[in-house]
Structure 1
Amino acid sequence: MSSEISVRVENLSKCYHIYDRPGDRLKQFIVPRLRRHAGSGPRQYFREFWALKDVSLEVKKGETVGIIGRNGSGKSTLLQMICGTLNPTRGQVQTTGRVAALLELGSGFNPEFTGRENIHLNAAILGLSPNEIDASFDDIAAFADIGDFLEQPVKTYSSGMVVRLAFAVQAMINPDILVVDEALAVGDEKFQRKCFARLEELKANGTSILFVSHSAPSIIELCDRALLLDHGTRVIYASPKHAVRAYQKIIYAPPEDHQRLVEEYLTADCVEGTHDGSDATNSDLEPAKLDFATFDPGLVPETTTSYPSQGAEIDSISILDLAGQVVNILLADNIYMFQVTGRFQRDFSDVYFGTHIRSVSGVEISGQRHPADGHYIENVRAGSTFKIVYSFRMSLLPGVYFVGGGIWSANEPNCAHRIIDAMMFRVAASEKQSSFGYVSLATQPPKLEMLCRP
């Protein structure tokens, strides 16, 4: 294997035998042997399930590779075989140097041992000598930052404390290859930032990182390349932006379009020759195939919550462009309108309307109210219908967002009607992005003046 490659995976596959009944497992163990002795043909009592099918990739030294895909796509199976904790059915894995892995919460910890004892145990398993463990112990303990719990059994730890200790052990011993499988999602925001800073430090020192996450921004920000898996098959191995875009388009596609999209990306992956692990950042897929239409029927939230109607009811919440067309793929800086329609079932006084935008994590990013704060619509009659339009300029950064709305009365203890996550939309990525966070406040590119001093 080339000295520049730290991980090479060639045609890796993993097959599991699925038994419908417990007795079938015993039959599979005994009956085929008896049939062979009797000269009869073979018979199997299981179904094959291929968790991974002929996956190939290469990871260079100092490179960070993100692995994305829906639950059950084979991400964890791939990582376990790279780490050597799972044997492949066929294919091979080659790694260079010390491999450290954070696969499952608390895996490798003895719950009866203290944190200190587990540090020594895990470091020894990773190949460190007693002297190396002693030299690294203070750094590990300081990074974990769990205080006096270091001397307590791990079974008394919270999930956050377990992941703190586990990550500290794996990341502070300076591995050649670090594998992280979604474990950081357990930690608090402050600790997650600390972990990402450590990952950047390891990367700068030449550590190769394999990183599984469902967070598209984390994949794009942290990784050099990304591997998209679907039902155990490699779909695309390309730049993070292209892989994430393909992933989002596939997961939000209607069921009847899913396989067609996967086949298109598989074909493009082969045509671009990325099976050898080379980057596909030039034009990994033709832009015309990746550009979203203005409306994606697959963008339907699974978290819609409608409050009980208490005298009013919202019929629909939608986004319109300036031509009056319903859209859910939005472009930065364009003007759109939220349109909310409904009806009142009884008389109300002092009524006001509101709509809001939330992030994937549920953070309320922005909202509008009508009339303005402190003002109300004095009287509304039963049987009245309404259509309220909120105009806005799209200043959100690329990503997926959720829209909800409601009707309230200043004289009522409960809302007349409210819907959370009534619809979702995506802000399409632009080629050049200089802002970060949720909202772009820039009105023009930054200007730099260099003051030269004598």
Structure 2
Amino acid sequence: MFSEIAIRVEGLSKRYQIYDQPHDRLKQFVLPRLRRVLGKPSRQYFREFWALKDLSFEIKRGETVGIIGRNGSGKSTLLQMICGTLNPTEGSIWTNGRIAALLELGSGFNPDFTGRENVYLNAAVLGLKQDEVNDCFDDIAAFADIGHFLEQPVKSYSSGMVVRLAFAVQAMINPDIFVVDEALAVGDEKFQRKCFARLEELKSTGTSILFVSHSAANIIELCERALLLDHGSRIMYGAAPQAVRAYQKLLYAPKGEYEGLIEGFREADHARSGSEGGAEMPPSQQSSSCEEVKQTEGATFDAGLVPETTTVYPCQGAQIKSIAFFDEQDRKVNVLQPGETYQLEIAGTFEQDLRGVYFGIHIRNVSGAVVTGQRFPEDGIYTEPVRAGTDFRVRFVFVMNLIQGAYFAGGGVWSIDEPTCAHRILDAAMFRVASTGKQKSFGYVDLAAGEPSMILAPTVIFAES
């Protein structure tokens, strides 16, 4: 059983002592001992701050787990304790295998050493012998791709070059556990794609990956599960799309509803982990099965296409009442034919006077990754101020050129006023793109059909009720 577990965390807590004034540190070092000698009750001269509190979870071999949460939620502290650079105050961490970590930018590098020397230094810290480093050095140099700078001191590197070399060292030694903090955000898009491809290779060979990112798309695309933290506590540990949706909902929640949402997510997480094995249903099984998708091939509306992952944000100035697809005959549909023109409508009411209003839609696949989306008006442009009581109806017109399969659509209303998210609904509608027979494309977009699901002409209608 333990051979299948890469990381086990039980009751993990980390406490820091916060001193309001420098001399309080000296008081804490001397006075408690003196008070005990004099028989007086003990007193502490610091405030306790718990960066993590009673955290427990497991990660299996070959599993990729995302760690998400607001700034200060304890993500980096957790990674540092897993890597052994911080000791826990309470609880335990058990790891199985060699750990490689890409944490703070340039951590572990000696700025006066050359890139080559730092490669050997880092590899030695990870437990590799010189012969092993010699065998993989060319792969490391090729992946980093920093040319003659490999022979120059690291202090002369740009931040992008530092992260290139750091990732190359950690990723090319084939670790059993690979820990990645948000350092990848420094690299350019080409290098990021290269890194994610390497992560997929490591994953396929059985490496367990812990990945911290504020990018919902990266978490959903790369990770099977995600751990949501808030103020050092576990809020949810489950399927990545579910955890990301919960995280996004917390980000936009009003102060009065925040604690209620936290408790609701915790209760759901506890119930899920307490069920048989605590197993999560894979994202691909959370929508209709293949048999359900095929049974109404010729229909334009299938009543069985009902999303189970709908997430409704709080109303903070507007209320979306419906999100639905319509064909050219203005019929409500959810079985769409490739190459045909459709409209995705968002309708609702403004509950407050708002300035700088704009609308947006998204289409996601069954794993939760955003396939496409659109904003109206375009970036930097907004509608005229709207008054409370005004109804709105926005229609995004597009040609459906997605590959056959099931998808989910949602949308929202935003404003330049605080809070910016007036209302938003994720996965409000489920739809299916029908089959046209033999497929010429794969992935999500049929490039052979023409424009890849591009929005043609959004229209908006306001009417005061």
Q: TM-score, normalised by structure 2?
A: 0.70
Letter in 1 for 2:13: S
Residue 34 of structure 2 aligns to a residue whose secondary structure is helix
- Tell me how far apart the structure 2 counterparts of residues 57 and 47 of structure 1 sit (CA, whole Å): 28
Kept after mapping to 1: 8 A contact 2:51/2:74: yes
Partner of 1:264: 264
Letter in 2 for 1:86: L
- Tell me how far apart the structure 1 counterparts of residues 420 and 259 of structure 2 sit (CA, whole Å): 27
Partner of 2:13: 13
Q: Provide, for residues 409-437 of structure 1, a one-character-per-residue CA deviation record: whole Å limited to 9, x for no partner.
A: xxxxxxxxxx9x97576452369788xxx
Q: What is the number of equivalent residue pairs in this alignment?
A: 372
**Cα drift, residue 297 of structure 1:** 3.4
Partner of 1:59: 59
Partner of 1:186: 186
Partner of 1:392: 395
Partner of 2:172: 172
Partner of 2:315: 297
Partner of 2:463: none
**Cα drift, residue 67 of structure 1:** 0.6
**Cα drift, residue 292 of structure 1:** 3.4
Partner of 1:76: 76
Give the root-mean-square deviation of aligned CA atoms: 4.0
Alpha-carbon distance change, 131 to 388 in structure 1, aligned in 2, over 3 angstroms: same
Alpha-carbon distance change, 449 to 10 in structure 1, aligned in 2, over 3 angstroms: same
- Are positions 1:335 and 2:345 aligned together? yes
Q: Provide, for residues 322-380 of structure 1, a one-character-per-residue CA deviation record: whole Å limited to 9, x for no partner.
A: 79xxxxxxx996413699999xxxxxxxxxx9978699xxx9955559xxxxxxxxxxx
Pick aligned residue for 1:428 from 426, 429, 433: 426
**Cα drift, residue 282 of structure 1:** 7.3
Kept after mapping to 2: 8 A contact 1:103/1:179: yes
Q: Provide, for residues 48-99 of structure 1, a one-character-per-residue CA deviation record: whole Å limited to 9, x for no partner.
A: 1000001111111100011111111111111111000000001011111100
Letter in 2 for 1:2: F
Alpha-carbon distance change, 262 to 99 in structure 1, aligned in 2, over 3 angstroms: same
Kept after mapping to 2: 8 A contact 1:357/1:401: yes
After the TM superposition, which residues 13-52 of structure 1 pair with which residues of structure 2 at under 5 Å, given as runs? 13-52=13-52
**Cα drift, residue 164 of structure 1:** 0.7
Partner of 1:153: 153
- Are positions 1:162 and 2:142 aligned together? no
**Cα drift, residue 401 of structure 1:** 7.2
Partner of 1:224: 224
**Cα drift, residue 393 of structure 1:** 2.9
Partner of 1:448: 438
Larger Rg: 1
Kept after mapping to 1: 8 A contact 2:163/2:187: yes
Residue 311 of structure 2 aligns to a residue whose secondary structure is coil
Letter in 2 for 1:393: F
Stretch moving more, 265-274 or 77-86: 265-274
Stretch moving more, 43-52 or 389-398: 389-398
Alpha-carbon distance change, 339 to 32 in structure 1, aligned in 2, over 3 angstroms: closer
Kept after mapping to 2: 8 A contact 1:68/1:228: yes
Alpha-carbon distance change, 218 to 431 in structure 1, aligned in 2, over 3 angstroms: farther
Q: Provide, for residues 216-261 of structure 1, a one-character-per-residue CA deviation record: whole Å limited to 9, x for no partner.
A: 1111111111111111001111111111111111221111111111
Alpha-carbon distance change, 75 to 169 in structure 1, aligned in 2, over 3 angstroms: same
- Tell me how far apart the structure 1 counterparts of residues 349 and 270 of structure 2 sit (CA, whole Å): 44
Kept after mapping to 2: 8 A contact 1:57/1:277: no
Alpha-carbon distance change, 354 to 243 in structure 1, aligned in 2, over 3 angstroms: closer
Report sequence identity in percent: 56
**Cα drift, residue 447 of structure 1:** 3.8
Residue 281 of structure 1 aligns to a residue whose secondary structure is coil
Kept after mapping to 1: 8 A contact 2:82/2:93: yes
Residue 228 of structure 1 aligns to a residue whose secondary structure is strand
Partner of 1:137: 137
Partner of 1:251: 251
**Cα drift, residue 290 of structure 1:** 6.7
Alpha-carbon distance change, 179 to 334 in structure 1, aligned in 2, over 3 angstroms: same
After the TM superposition, which residues 90-105 of structure 1 pair with which residues of structure 2 at under 5 Å, given as runs? 90-105=90-105
Partner of 2:302: none
**Cα drift, residue 20 of structure 1:** 0.6
Kept after mapping to 1: 8 A contact 2:361/2:411: no
Kept after mapping to 1: 8 A contact 2:321/2:348: no
Alpha-carbon distance change, 102 to 394 in structure 1, aligned in 2, over 3 angstroms: farther
Alpha-carbon distance change, 121 to 367 in structure 1, aligned in 2, over 3 angstroms: same
Residue 106 of structure 2 aligns to a residue whose secondary structure is coil
Alpha-carbon distance change, 248 to 17 in structure 1, aligned in 2, over 3 angstroms: same
Partner of 1:381: none
**Cα drift, residue 403 of structure 1:** 5.6
Kept after mapping to 2: 8 A contact 1:235/1:265: yes
- Tell me how far apart the structure 1 counterparts of residues 169 and 254 of structure 2 sit (CA, whole Å): 43
Alpha-carbon distance change, 36 to 123 in structure 1, aligned in 2, over 3 angstroms: same
Q: TM-score, normalised by structure 1?
A: 0.72
Residue 250 of structure 1 aligns to a residue whose secondary structure is helix
Kept after mapping to 2: 8 A contact 1:358/1:403: no
- Tell me how far apart the structure 1 counterparts of residues 274 and 146 of structure 2 sit (CA, whole Å): 44
**Cα drift, residue 107 of structure 1:** 0.5
Alpha-carbon distance change, 424 to 203 in structure 1, aligned in 2, over 3 angstroms: farther
**Cα drift, residue 178 of structure 1:** 0.1
**Cα drift, residue 25 of structure 1:** 0.4
Kept after mapping to 2: 8 A contact 1:397/1:427: no
Kept after mapping to 1: 8 A contact 2:310/2:427: no
Alpha-carbon distance change, 271 to 226 in structure 1, aligned in 2, over 3 angstroms: same
Q: Which runs of 5+ in 2 are unaligned?
A: 287-305, 324-332, 335-342, 363-371, 379-389, 399-406, 441-465
- Tell me how far apart the structure 1 counterparts of residues 184 and 274 of structure 2 sit (CA, whole Å): 29
Residue 197 of structure 1 aligns to a residue whose secondary structure is helix
